[in-house]
Structure 1
Amino acid sequence: MEEHEEAVFRILRYLKSSLGKGLFFKKSEQRGIEAYTDADWVGSITYRRFTSGSVHLFGQNIVTWRSRKTKCLVRSSADAELRSMAQGICEMMWLKRIMEELRKPITLPMKLYCDCKVVISVAHNAVQHDRIKHIEIDRQFIKEKIKEGQVCMPFVPSKH
């Protein structure tokens, strides 16, 4: 309980010190959630970890972004991309729930943009492959959200 109180006080101190600052959110008729995810597999030869990044938009406004070095090792760049996408979908589902609580329904499906055609194909593929058993939970989660119509995954080239 004390940890939570300290966290609340820390947030309040931050807000008090940043009066007059804020984010501008452009009014838009668009009510969709979009996300871009990417992963850099073994970008650090020293630590052998992958870096995951994502940005989430509501309408035309960026509402969350993240870039972090993960704690786990992965076997390939496709594994890293798939894990990054699963985390991105979790964040999208969280944003969707917040908007529902605020009584601001969103347009479905939410769009998760990815620059890896192989991973998009693996996420849609219903066949179990021996080569992807170790990432099956993330793949199954993504496939379920696609099947429910919650998420779609358009391809976007890295240069865009």
Structure 2
Amino acid sequence: MALLIYVDDILVAGTDSAQIDRLKQFLDKTFKIKDLGHLNYFLGIEAFISTDGLNICQRKYTLEILKEYGFMDAKPAKTPITAGQKLSSLEGTPLDKPEVYRRLVGKLLYLTNTRPEITYAVQQLSQYVDKPRNTHLMAAHRVLRYLKGSPGKGMFYPANSQIKLQGFSDSDWATCAETMKSVTGYCIYFGKSLISWKTKKQATVSRSSSEAEYRALASTVCEVQWLLYLLADLKVKPNSPTTLFCDNKFAIAIGENYVFHERTKHIEIDCHVVKQKVYEGVIKLMSVPSQKTTC
């Protein structure tokens, strides 16, 4: 049995309904709880359970955002961000009410819990919450117009899923024109179910695209290890090493080969967690063509 607790909201999951009932009775006797029955709404996330699996979305939350910012009747956009768009902290004019932008970005960040396709766009927007400009607000409004086209879109987790982890790691080298830092992106699947994803600017500047890819691999490996710890707590153990796909063969070679010392001595030690986990058999690195990683 597992409990997910956020302040005074509790979600209980388990394989023994009698044990769950005993737990609820104990909690009610101790704290006086209110039993809301089977899962259907939790922290703004709507859940629909069937024999086929679990579907989660944030339709109500999305519609509330659209209504608050006046986009209920807006023309939908096909993508959350314009292809090739590069935001800057210097272009445009400063906003008179920056708190409006900050509030919107905060709401969009929470929406990425069920909408992984807006993660990159929101990551770009979140870099400018300190001093937002009108160009940043326009980009945020495009995300809203994209959401207008599919407010109920979410995630589906089938009831019968293969007990296997696999991930995809990628990076966008020197994509930030102001700092020349790269962006890490990854997604991890449990069977066919997407369970973890992230887009984040790397902490340091990478001297090559291979180094940026290797740093992205290191971040992905750390997430895989955390997921394995979580699965172990739930008494679930994958039968094989986690397959990790990357479209940079040199980055894979760094992770598998201890001979590249001269070329990689400037990379921080913490990045070499990839080598350690390959050696331990936790992950298995695989090459994948770049065109097959494009969503």
Which stretch of the first structure deviates more once superposed, 14-23 or 118-127? 14-23
Instruction: Give 5+ residue unaligned stretches, structure 2.
Output: 1-5, 11-40, 49-55, 57-154
Say if 1:150 and 1:18 are closer, same or farther in 2 by CA, change over 3 A.
Answer: closer
Match of 2:42 in 1: 15
Is the Cα–Cα contact under 8 Å of residues 169 and 246 in structure 2 kept in the other structure? Answer: yes
Query: What is the one-letter code of the residue matched to 1:15?
Result: F
Alpha-carbon distance in structure 1 between the residues aligned to 2:226 and 2:193: 16
1:7-156 correspondence runs (5 A): 8-9=6-7, 15-20=42-47, 22=56, 23-135=155-267, 137-138=269-270, 140-156=272-288
**C-alpha spacing 1:111/1:11, structure 2 compared with 1 (3 Å):** farther
Q: Distance in 1 between matches of 2:264 and 2:218?
A: 15
Taking structure 2 as the reference length, the TM-score comes to 0.48
The alignment partner of 2:254 has SS state of helix
In structure 1, the gaps of 5 or more residues are 1-7
Return the alpha-carbon distance in structure 1 between the equivalents of residues 227 and 220 of structure 2: 11
> What is the CA distance between 1:136 and its match in structure 2?
5.3
* Alignment: residue pair count: 153
1:68 to 1:140, Cα distance in 2 relative to 1, 3 A: closer
**Offset of 1:18 from its aligned partner?**
3.5
- Matched residue type, 2:177: I
Equivalent residue letter for 2:178: T
Deviations 1:7-63 (A, max 9, x none): x44988x93444446242113352111110100111122221111100010011000
Q: Deviations over 1:92-114 (max 9, x none)?
A: 01111111111111122101100
Higher Cα radius of gyration:
2
CA distance in 1, matches of 2:168, 2:43: 32
In structure 1, what is the Cα distance between the partners aligned to 2:227 and 2:210?
A: 26
| Equivalent residues of 2:161, 2:192 under 8 A apart | no
The separation in 2 between residues aligned to 1:145 and 1:18, in whole angstroms, is 34
AA paired with 2:171?
A
Deviation of 1:89 (Å): 0.5
Change in CA separation of 1:135 and 1:158 when aligned onto 2, cut-off 3 Å = same
TM-score by length of 1: 0.84
Which amino acid counterpart does residue 250 of structure 2 have in structure 1?
Answer: V
Tell me what 2:131 maps to: none
